[in-house]
Amino acid sequence: MKQQLTPGTVVLVGGGPGDPDLITVAGLRAVRQADVVLYDRLAPLAVLDEMRPDAERIAVGKIPRGACTPQERINEILIERARAGRTVVRLKGGDNYVFGRGGEEAQACALAGVPVDVIPGVTSAVAVPALAGVPVTHRSLSQGFTVVSGHVPPGDPRSTVAWEALARSGMTLVVLMGVAHLGEICIALAESGLDAATPAAVVADGCSPSMRVVRGTVADIATLASDADVHPPAITVIGAVAGLDLNAPGDGWTP
Ligand SMILES: C[S@@+](CC[C@H](N)C(=O)[O-])C[C@H]1O[C@@H](n2cnc3c(N)ncnc32)[C@H](O)[C@@H]1O
Q: Is the CB of 42 under 6 A from ligand 1?
A: yes
Of the residues 96, 122, 148, the one at which a domain ends:
122
Distance 211 CA to ligand 1 centre (A): 13
Both 237 and 155 in one domain: the answer is yes
| Confidence grade of residue 255 (pLDDT, cut at 50, 70, 90) | low
**Is residue 148 domain-resident?**
yes
Whether residue 40 lies in the annotated active site: yes
Share of the chain above pLDDT 70, in %: 97
Q: How far is CA 70 from the centre of its chain?
A: 19
Q: Catalytic site residue 177? A: yes
Q: What are phi and psi of 189, to 5 degrees?
A: -65, -45
The total domain count for the chain is 2
Q: Are 168 and 192 in contact (CB under 8 A)?
A: yes
Say if residue 118 is in the same domain as residue 131.
no
Same-domain pairing of 160 and 207:
yes
pLDDT digits (tens, 9 = 90+) for 125-161: 999 999 999 999 999 999 999 999 999 999 999 999 9
Model confidence over 84-97: pLDDT tens digits? 999 999 999 999 99
| Under 8 Å between Cβ of 169 and 238 | no
Give the mean pLDDT of the chain: 95
236 lines ligand 1 (CB under 6 A): no
In which domain, by residue range, is 201 found? 125-243
3-state secondary structure of 118: strand
Whether residue 22 is predicted with pLDDT greater than 70 in this model: the reply is yes
Q: Catalytic: which of 40, 95, 117, 245?
A: 40
Q: Contact 148/176 with Cβ under 8 angstroms?
A: yes
Q: Return the CATH number at 193.
A: 3.30.950.10
Residue 1 lies in a domain: no
Q: 131 with 227, same domain?
A: yes
Residue 221 has pLDDT above 70, yes or no: yes
Query: Element (H or E) spanning 204, and its range?
Result: strand 199-204
Active site residue 227: no
**Residue 156 placed within a domain:** yes
Please work out whether the CB of residue 92 comes within 6 Å of at least one atom of ligand 1: yes
Residue 252 belongs to a domain:
no
Task: Give yes or no: residues 97 and 174 share one domain.
Answer: no
User: Is it the case that residue 78 has pLDDT exceeding 90?
Assistant: yes
Same domain flag for 103 and 160: no
Work out the percent of the chain whose per-residue pLDDT is above 90: 93
The protein residue whose alpha carbon is closest to atom 12 in ligand 1 is 176
Say yes or no: 116 and 150 in one domain: no
pTM comes to 0.95
On the question of pLDDT at 48 being above 90, the answer is yes
Ramachandran quadrant class, 24 (left: phi over 0; alpha: psi -120 to 50; beta: rest): beta
Whole-number pLDDT of residue 74 = 96
The pLDDT assigned to 66 comes to 59
Residues 68 and 115 both lie in one domain = yes
pLDDT at 62 over 70: no
22 and 112 co-located in one domain:
yes
